[in-house]
Structure 1
């Protein structure tokens, strides 16, 4: 029985052996063997590299997500605008508006050469003032609680404005321009104009992030504080400014969402130098929602964007253009999915076997042609 099974297995042998007496090794066969071995080696390295590295597949889908927030990270330097008067505003098509945003914002004073003068987180506290003017008209007494006047901008009888910033906020909420800031006791005692004068000739780096609704909107950097009047935005420094503002700027960073591998933010490192007397610089952005999934199935929800630019000059005789840098963004209805994929080990082994078998087969055919061709030529000669 054992001999019968052994005989049957020998009959199934797909690799019959040839007696060594029938081997005929040739020089051309050796050359073909070396070349085929080199080819197999490089093809194996290529497959190994493909196995060790991931490939990224891109798919486009309709963005059906609703609601949520959009995070805007920014880092912008204004060489000619002092930090004291630089502010950032944001609004969207849902009607939500935020003026002079101070949360999560850091301002850094820089000199004409770009060196850091001072760094402070914006919106934290206000200078203490001694014996300020009370709402009733007298000076703060020793046993009194301070309640400063809002100079007609109060929305209730018990409202107090205890700092220059609170007075400006009260005026802004009423849509009024605060034109005579030197007559405001809080601003005078806090040295608002003194700070502006001290920072004359300096610039400002402003960086941080905004959390906005995931709808089309805009945000902008302007010298002064904006208030809303009808359909226009007006800066409260317009009535007191004597010089045109130079809104030359450098965008060190602008990103919508978190970083993911391969992302390109087209405005990073972009610089604009203002040559005209005054005007506003506008960026129109198309934001594309993006999901990046790595080989470990970890996803990053982020965005990419494209941009077009436009500079608007201040034309004499027309409504005055607000100097500043304006970003208008809109959301694309198409979502991009980047998915990292890794070649499986079985796929690698299949490709290696195909490389070895295919190369040996082709090399054997080439060697056979060479060998029999040489024999035919010798026979003819």
Structure 2
């Protein structure tokens, strides 16, 4: 009986050795191996890298995907809001903002935009915030093509924010007009414009209105402007309003 047990153990041991020796690649003899701290470090780094790749691929596999679907808006009776915060380098007495749609209604039917005399040049603290907004929005528009990957997943709401109060007050007259506020519009074709001259409220035209600028000289015109906010509807995650953070300096007084 004892002899049979020894034979069985030898048989099992020989099979185990054959399994250990089974390899698709030729094994290196132990006499040719030399252990070192550098090799051990590289082995640990490789092992950690493999674990990280497995984890990242698993997360990517289980992560949600966005499917975009667009449908026509057939709710013609609903209203749509427009949010405006634009500064034009002309005093408020020389500039006017208005909206006109295909129903021949102007801005005073939809609400009121506030006009605030100010200085076009920003204070240092305001300039820093506006430049950050401008660079970030420019990056989203021009460089980062998978915008959804950093907006929806991070619950991004809105880039633009109210500029902080001025840290320095200029010692000169106002040279700009800040036009800001929200209006509720009809869902029909129309246009929003800011131009020189005030709207002639008492003058009714069949298909529009006029801005009176007869008493302005050429040097009074300056269409240099800054857009801090120009959006439609309520703030929503992931919606980028491409004109926000835009600043245009006019080289000629009568043109943009």
User: TM class, shorter-chain normalised?
Assistant: 0.5 to 0.7
Name the structure where strand makes up a greater proportion of residues: 1
Q: CA RMSD in A?
A: 3.9
Q: Which of the pair has more CA radius of gyration?
A: 1
Decide whether the 8 Å contact of 1:83 with 1:109 is kept in 2: yes
User: Partner residue of 1:72?
Assistant: 82
Q: Are residues 1:46 and 2:57 paired?
A: yes
Q: What is the Cα deviation at residue 278 of structure 1?
A: 2.2
Flag the 1:233–1:107 CA change in 2: closer, same or farther, 3 A.
Answer: closer
Distance 1:102 1:93, change over 3 A: closer
Q: 2:185 is paired with a residue of what secondary structure?
A: strand
Shift of 1:261: 3.3
- In the TM superposition, residue 88 of structure 1 has moved relative to its aligned partner by 2.1
Specify the alignment match of 1:256 in structure 2: 232
Change (3 A) 1:69 1:97: same
How far apart are residue 241 of structure 1 and its match? 2.6
Of 56, 64, 89, 2:98 maps to 89
Structure number with the higher helix fraction is: 2
TM-score by length of 2: 0.53
Stretches (4+) displaced over 6 A:
34-38
Distance 1:21 1:106 in 2: 88
Work out which of the residue numbers 61, 76, 88 in structure 1 matches 2:71: 61
Counterpart among 225, 228, 241 of residue 216 in structure 2:
241
The alpha-carbon deviation at position 231 of structure 1 amounts to 4.2
Q: Classify 1:92/1:24 alpha carbon distance in 2 versus 1 (closer, same or farther; 3 Å).
A: same
Distance in 1 (alpha carbons) for counterparts of 2:216 and 2:174: 15
Secondary structure of the equivalent of 1:209? strand
Cα pair 1:88 1:101 within 8 Å, conserved: no
Gaps of 5+ in 2: 1-14, 29-43, 125-171
TM-score by length of 1: 0.38
Shift of 1:225: 2.4
Larger RCO (alpha carbons 8 Å, 6+ apart): 2
Q: Work out the CA distance in 2 between the residues paired with 1:62 and 1:99.
A: 29
Gaps of 5+ in 1: 1-18, 117-198, 282-381
Distance 2:234 2:106 in 1: 24
The C-alpha deviation readout for 1:223-264, integer Å capped at 9, x for no partner, is 43212434453223x233344421211222211123333323
The whole-number CA distance in structure 1 between the counterparts of 2:66 and 2:194 is 37
Contact 1:87 1:100 in 2 (8 A): no
Number of residues of Structure 1 aligned to a counterpart in Structure 2: 175
Moved more, 270-279 or 206-215: 270-279
Change (3 A) 1:260 1:24: same
Partners of 2:247 and 2:18 in 1: CA distance: 78
Written as runs of structure 1 = structure 2, the 5 A alignment for 1:124-143 is none
Q: Is the 8 A contact 1:250 1:272 kept in 2?
A: yes
